[in-house]
Amino acid sequence: MHFEFDCLKNDEKYRQLFLDFIVKEEICNLNCDYCMNENNNLKETHIFQRKDGRLNFRLDKANELVYEEGYQLKQDIDSILEKYEHIFNAPVIKVSGGEILMVKNIDKLVKRLAESYEVVQLLTNGVLVNENFIGKIKDIKNLHVQLSLDGHIYEMNCNRVKSNEMHNRILRALDLLVTNKIITEVYCVITKQNIDYLPQYAEYLLNKYGSSVKLFPFPVRQKPGEKFFSDENNLKGVEILIENHERYQEILPPKLYMEELCLFMKKRKRMGRCYIPLVANQIFDDGVVTPCPNCWTIQLGNLVEETEKVTSSLGTNRIYNLMIHHPPAAPFCRSCYTEVDVLNLYFDGRLTLEELELSRPLFKGARVKKRLEEMKKIFQMVDFKQLDI
């Protein structure tokens, strides 16, 4: 048996919660130690290898990185989004790279998306966030920025950047975002380097920004986790946040999320069902579709060139039964716990919609909340046990 995606249809479109749109994943201006790209082989272009500690990201193709008429990138992006919006309906779109701010005129894409989606989320490492960029985006009221920052001191962030100067540059980016009232979520990868400092990090953000930022911690995962995952007997940093959750609740995810995070880090495996492949698509700027935004596993096809192949694969490809299996069946699912797991807690009935929206402004909009409630009702009617085979 398989999940019938047709139950998500409304007005001949598949209802989704969000689209995870990846633009030029092979181009980045950082070389994070725990980057998962070198272990992904979804596409032939995903041949990343380390040499002298650096991945072979392409930095010499500036002429390709322009969202403007006359450039192939804009033509590709517009074609893919037009096709997606003809088949699917989602209130949220997340746009990332690579490093998405390396795309010239990305603000024009954000403005185009802001007209169609209730929320546009932009994921960036912050290196290119400056006054000029802020000036272009600060009036886009439904834009949310997800900033990757593993700590407020260099020692916490050393797996991401290799100098204190670069670290301070990202801290300035956070200041700029908050000062200009841009809704900001801090994306924090927990490693053995920063786990002990997490309470100080939460204290720093709370004292400096109050509820103007949200901190979403999750552990390093998949292959890099073998090297950078914190020892299961050294989780004090997370445990202190749980013990003092009332103090930090303005900036932290729900307490239940933090408790499940701690349990995951102790057991080194996820325990609950994952609904994410049923509520989201991940699509690349070349049209390739993969069924989960957390893990690049297989290609369902090219949305523009193989539209029917993609839609006929929804739910029917055996990868879905693996990904939504309870308990998690695939190694890449067992080793995965990310910020979207807060949605799994909601769909399982363990978090309320109110708790969800308090922790993530991303889910406060009327269209988003309506879609969440619709999908939860649908999932409550599905006999998932019949799929756990």
Domain that holds residue 324: 5-386
**pLDDT tens, residue by residue, 160-175:** 999 999 999 999 999 9
The predicted pLDDT at position 61 comes to 62
Which residue has tokens 């609950």? 272
Q: Which amino acid is at 242?
A: I
Q: Residue 290 maps to which CATH number?
A: 3.20.20.70
The predicted pLDDT at position 80 comes to 98
CA 92 – CA 21 distance, rounded (Å) = 11
How far is CA 223 from its chain centroid? Answer: 18
CA 180 – CA 131 distance, rounded (Å) = 10
**pLDDT tens, residue by residue, 218-247:** 999 887 888 899 988 899 999 999 999 999
- In three-state secondary structure terms, 201 is helix
pTM comes to: 0.96
The predicted pLDDT at position 59 comes to 62
- Please identify every stretch of the chain with a pLDDT value under 70, giving residue numbers as ranges: 45, 59-62
CA 354 – CA 187 distance, rounded (Å) = 21
Q: Do the Cβ atoms of 88 and 281 come closer than 8 Å?
A: yes
CA 348 – CA 179 distance, rounded (Å) = 37
Number of domains in the chain: 1
Q: What is the DSSP letter of 387?
A: T
* DSSP assignment of 6-72: GGGEETTEEE-SEEEEE--TT--S---TT-SGGG--SSTT----EETTEE----S-GGG-B-STTSH
Q: Do the Cβ atoms of 193 and 155 come closer than 8 Å?
A: yes
The predicted pLDDT at position 378 comes to 97
